[in-house]
Amino acid sequence: MRVKIHGKVKNFRTVWYENGTVNLIDQRKLPYKFEIYRTRDFRDTASAIGNMIVRGAPAIGATAAFGMAQAAFRFKGNDMEKFKEYMKNAADLFRKTRPTAHDLFYAINLMDEIIEESNSVGEAKYLLKKKSQEYADKSAEMCKRIGKIGEKLISNNDRILTHCNAGALGCVDYGTALSVIRFARYNNKDIFVFVDETRPRCQGSKLTAWELEQEGIRYRIIADNAAGYYMQNSEIDLVIVGADRIAINGDIANKIGTYEKAVLAKENSIPFYVAAP
């Protein structure tokens, strides 16, 4: 994602792994301060998930994958059985951090499979590092594709409502709903975004608004119960949200307040879209 620092624009991922350190944009500090939180111990990485330093299912999944690789490299010795027991304890620690995020369990299970298929501690360490990076890269690429495909739904001068934070901060990069909005902007579409504040943690007013500000996309923060007013007055053209979970029948679960927006959109004949990998 693009971040303005001292008048210059730099690109950051929400989470990345480098030289044994997991680097995270500290989302507790936004929008007032941009700060990178660094962990060199997998237990600190697990705490970062639990303490909301990182949030959003895709970002949590990538953080857990990096944390598992981090844990592996702290193990000393070549005894594979002891290594497996050690890594099982690490996996259990990560599973207890944020039980609402499915990506967390998916990433850990993927890392567990790699350990089981490895023939040595050294091979397991190499593959965990390699596959955790591939996991993060794939997650970012899926979000990029969502943006490229979804931006076709947006017309020039559209006014868009979004709820919570389905942006790069909740993913590894690009985001889901905000990826669509980003790529509309990259394709020179003039758009305006209504941002629900999204109480109680205000991910909309604190995080989504911050991301839009970095991208130079025009926006307005509105109270959670104000969307109906703007819809009734024909000031919103479409709604785009992300998804915390998608059921096998296509039903979606998302941040509290999403259902309300869906009902309002239907009653006001406004298209309602869910952007999710």
DSSP assignment string, 74-122: H--S--HHHHHHHHHHHHHHHHTT-TT-HHHHHHHHHHHHHHHH-SSHH
What the block records as the tokens of 16 is 């990345």
Distance CA 217, CA 158 (A): 12
Choice among 103, 173, 196, 244 that is catalytic: 244
Q: Is-contact 201 165, C-beta < 8 A? A: no
Return the residue matching tokens 């593959």: 127
Q: How far is CA 175 from CA 82, 164, 234, in A?
A: 39, 12, 27
Residues 16, 136 contacting (CB under 8 angstroms): yes
244 is catalytic: yes
**What distance lies between CA 233 and its chain's CA centroid?**
32
Active site (catalytic) residues: 244
